[in-house]
Structure 1
Amino acid sequence: MRIPDTERRSFYLRLIYALCLCGATWTHLQVALVHGLWWDYGGAAPLTRIYWTSLLFIDPLTVLLLLLSLRAGLILCAAVIVTDVVHNSWFAFHHPIRLDLYLSQIVFLLFVIFTIRTAWRGAVRRSVALRTVD
């Protein structure tokens, strides 16, 4: 059986999103391994510390959802990258940050913004097709 193009494109986009989030997970894991889960990120505000540490768990959860629960994964992916860029933009206004990581987040956000409709259409089509097969 041939997979429709919309589903195939959705899968490839979700795979790219997942790979980017795996890279983010790796970054958060390195921080946790070096400094521990309760590191204060050099004196960052408590909510910033909680948010950044939580991404160690939220990013891989998003990866799993992108592959297993397509629409939930897309919603969480968009929420994660939007909140990450908004938060880090606010943080960068008050503190120095690593520009390479910040710019990579912005590029990923733009990629998600410009491709999520295609990913959503394929995910919705797939879920509808699976329901009709049952």
Structure 2
Amino acid sequence: MDIQNIARRSFYLRLIYALCLCGATWTHLQVALAHGLGWDYGGVAQLTRIYWTSLTFIDPLAVLLLLVVPRVGLIVCVAVIVTDVAHNSWFALHNPIRLDLYLSQIAFLLFVACTVRTAWRGAAVRREVSRVIN
């Protein structure tokens, strides 16, 4: 596979990740607009409130990083989806949750886990090409 194909695949994967994170941003933004940033989500634990509210800002930051600083964006993207699924899995043991949102998070986690290596390799291609040319 040539360098351009690797870079192109990485870009498309990062674009898919970014679009998924935009959807998550929209979900968190709707909650913030309806209830405010200080909402207690119906009485959940303080750390859960802080985590869920922080995703209103972290998700769009990950989107920006995926497109501007790809490797940093990939690290943030993986951290977000791993912690989100881990947290929401723990939360679901003790509370009712929206199954559709939870299953979409798990699907996204599986997709990222299966494709992030390709996205990572292609994200470095631009830097490698620059080094060879110079």
TM-score with structure 2 length normalisation? 0.95
> Offset of 1:127 from its aligned partner?
2.1
Judge conservation of contact 2:10–2:118 (CA < 8 Å) in 1: yes
Note if 1:98 corresponds to 2:98: yes
Q: In the alignment, what sits opposite 1:123?
A: 123
Give the Cα separation in 1 of the matches to 2:109 and 2:88. 12
Q: Give the counterpart letter for 2:10 in structure 1.
A: S
Match of 2:46 in 1: 46
Aligned partner of 1:85: which letter? V
Structure 2 stretches lacking a partner, 5+ long: none
- Amino acid of the structure 2 residue aligned with 1:24: A
Counterparts of 2:130 and 2:54, CA distance in 1: 33
Q: CA 1:37–1:131 in structure 2 vs 1: closer, same or farther (change >3 Å)?
A: farther
> How many residues get paired?
133
Task: Summarize the alignment of residues 5-84 of structure 1 with structure 2, pairs less than 5 Å apart.
Answer: 5-84=5-84
* d(CA) in 1 for partners of 2:44, 2:133: 51
Q: Deviations over 1:71-123 (max 9, x none)?
A: 00000000000000000000000000000000000000000000000000100
Could you tell me which residue of structure 2 aligns to residue 110 of structure 1?
A: 110
Return the alpha-carbon distance in structure 1 between the equivalents of residues 131 and 22 of structure 2.
Answer: 30
Q: In angstroms, what is the RMSD of aligned CA positions?
A: 1.3
Superposed displacement of residue 124, structure 1: 1.3
Distance of 1:97 and 1:44 partners within structure 2 = 12
CA distance, structure 1, for counterparts of residue 57 and residue 14 of structure 2? 18
